Structure 1
Amino acid sequence: MSNDISTSSSYMDSLRWQDKQVPKKEESDALTQEDFFSLLTQQLSYQDPSKPADNDQMIAQMTNFTMAEGISNLNSNFESLAASMTSNSALQASTLVGKQALLESDTLELNESGEVKGAIVAEKPVDNLTLRIEDASGQLVKTIDLGTQPAGAVRFAWDGKNEAGERLPPGEYNVKAEGSTDGEFSSLPIASFKNIESVNINGSSGIIINTKEGAVRLTDVAEIA
């Protein structure tokens, strides 16, 4: 039996350094400045000696060529800038994961820290403003009296405890806000902090953040905490 190792395999040949293979230079169809001067020289050689080319025309041709070349270079620079901005946006968006976004919602996310913050949106001054927190079954677990508040965002905080002072388990709780505006009781919209689970980069919509309640554009987020 021969102990020689065969090296005729095409796979092994593909791994070897190919000394004779030289990459071909890609040819471009775009006219360069050298091409322009060649054309200009050819034009001058064929012109009528009795009617030489006007200097203004030659300068105009050179100016047009320079402008075309400048616009082409500018487009390339803009493409590089757009790619760089997209990379920067992706890097900035990645830092949002794990933080909280203030979004309009009728639920509160109680986590291990045992504290939930949010805001009630009051378009007008409101009296007897009350925040009602219920568990998943609809049972009332906590009532927070906020009294009289001016128009704007009314901040609130819940320590995660019920009326008896007992700490409630982490989870999602329903929340309602009611108050008297111009002598009439009505419900008010609420915004609460939601955990940002992931982000997407969308060319038309910008940065999209994803929470348990769905996706929302970063421009629609009132606050990041």
Structure 2
Amino acid sequence: MSFLNSISQATAAQQTTSSGNPFLDGVRLQTNAAVPEAKKQELTQEDFFALLSQQLSMQDPFKPVENDQMIAQMASFSTVDGIAKLNDHILNLNTVMTSSQALQASGLVGQKVLIPSATGNVSKEEPNIKGVISTPTKIDQITVRIEDAKGQLVKSFTVDGSEGGNIDVNWDGLDAEGKPVAEGNYTIKASGKVDGKAQELPVSTYAHVTSVSLGTAATGAILNLRGVGGIKLTDVLAVAEG
């Protein structure tokens, strides 16, 4: 069949389907038009080799592409493809590690953990607050101040710091008059003389683990602490008996 005959048959077919009304013919053409399927906006390895074959077929035979250029193109695509697959494997590995970490952290539910925070919680279940004062050197006497959420002084007392290092501190939850304080968060502050000068000392407190959250790949497992909030498992300093 010749090219002119094909055009004639196509024209005749269009005329047989024409209704004589331009508007109806326009609507009919729109309804019969096929909607192209959506394609992915990324190149696959098959697309790359198709483009490479097209490039080779259209190159100047007197100025062909150098072998090193072709190898460089193929190596670049292989590198990008390998990096993409590596990223997928890393994401899967992070998911598995996060789940495994959360499973291990679930064993801490009901235990007490030492956290780098001077704020502890007083409740019916835990009417006292325990913590650790870190000292850079031996201090004869350490002054401890207990403050409420508003920063008001509740009670003060001293502890022996002559051994130096980490000094245990335990507040019984009673105010200066010996009465139990209201439930809530309280802050332990400590100070002492280092080389003859008064210095604030870092304090860490124990908190009760009530539950564990899965978290994300960036944060890892999250420990939910009674009255204090959440903390990353990696920030825990020590674990004590519940």
| TM-score, scaled relative to structure 1 | 0.55
Q: What is residue 22 of structure 1 aligned with on the other side? A: none
Kindly indicate whether residue 112 of structure 2 is the aligned counterpart of residue 95 of structure 1.
Answer: no
Q: How is 1:167-178 mapped onto 2 (pairs within 5 angstroms)?
A: none
CA distance 1:59–1:203, shift in 2 (3 Å): closer
Q: What is residue 208 of structure 1 aligned with on the other side? A: 222
Shift in Å, 1:67: 1.8
Letter of the aligned partner of 1:222 in structure 2?
A: L
Q: What is residue 193 of structure 1 aligned with on the other side? A: 206
Q: What is residue 41 of structure 1 aligned with on the other side? A: 53
Kindly indicate whether residue 163 of structure 2 is the aligned counterpart of residue 150 of structure 1.
Answer: yes
Q: What is residue 237 of structure 2 aligned with on the other side? A: 222
Shift in Å, 1:223: 0.9
Contact 1:108 1:192 in 2 (8 A): no
Q: Alignment partner of 2:108: what SS?
A: coil
Q: How is 1:113-124 mapped onto 2 (pairs within 5 angstroms)?
A: 118-124=131-137
d(CA) in 1 for partners of 2:228, 2:188 = 20
Per-residue deviation, residues 156-213 of structure 1 (Å, max 9, x unmatched): 689x9xxxxxxxxxx99x9989897468999977645332112332565544322233
Per-residue deviation, residues 136-174 of structure 1 (Å, max 9, x unmatched): xx89xxx9x96562222124689x9xxxxxxxxxx99x9
Shift in Å, 1:100: 0.8
Aligned-pair RMSD on alpha carbons? Answer: 4.6
Q: List runs of 5+ in structure 1 lacking aligned partners.
A: 1-25, 133-137, 161-170
CA distance 1:147–1:50, shift in 2 (3 Å): closer
Larger Rg: 2
Letter of the aligned partner of 1:210 in structure 2?
A: N
More helix by share: 2
Per-residue deviation, residues 92-131 of structure 1 (Å, max 9, x unmatched): 332221111124557687999xxx9653444442335699
Q: What is residue 63 of structure 2 aligned with on the other side? A: 51
d(CA) in 2 for partners of 1:82, 1:111 = 39
d(CA) in 2 for partners of 1:190, 1:61 = 59
Shift in Å, 1:59: 1.8
Aligned residues: 184
Letter of the aligned partner of 1:46 in structure 2?
A: M
d(CA) in 1 for partners of 2:63, 2:190 = 91
CA distance 1:102–1:34, shift in 2 (3 Å): closer
| TM-score, scaled relative to structure 2 | 0.52
CA distance 1:193–1:72, shift in 2 (3 Å): closer
Per-residue deviation, residues 46-97 of structure 1 (Å, max 9, x unmatched): 3333333322222222222222222222222222222223222322332221
Q: List runs of 5+ in structure 2 lacking aligned partners.
A: 1-37, 146-153, 173-182
Kindly indicate whether residue 98 of structure 2 is the aligned counterpart of residue 83 of structure 1.
Answer: no
Q: What is residue 65 of structure 1 aligned with on the other side? A: 77
